[in-house]
Amino acid sequence: MTDEAFYRFLGLCMRAGKLVSGEDTVLRLVRDRKVDLVLISNDASNNTEKLFHAKCQSYNTPIKTAGTREHLGRAIGKQERVVLGITDKGFAKKLTSMIDD
CATH number at residue 43: 3.30.1330.30
Task: Supply the mean pLDDT for the chain.
Answer: 95
The end-to-end CA distance of the chain, in Å, is 7
pLDDT per residue over 48-78, tens digit each? 999 999 999 999 999 999 999 999 999 999 9
Q: In what order do the strands lie in the sheet with 19-21?
A: 19-21, 83-86, 37-40, 63-65
What is the bridge-based pairing of β-strands 63-65 and 83-86? unpaired
- Residue 14's domain comprises 3-100
Instruction: Tell me the whole-structure pTM to 2 decimals.
Output: 0.95
Helix (H) or strand (E) holding 90: helix 89-100
Q: How many domains are there within the chain? A: 1
Q: Indicate whether 5 pLDDT > 80.
A: yes
Half-sphere exposure in the Cβ direction for 27 (13 Å, CA): 12
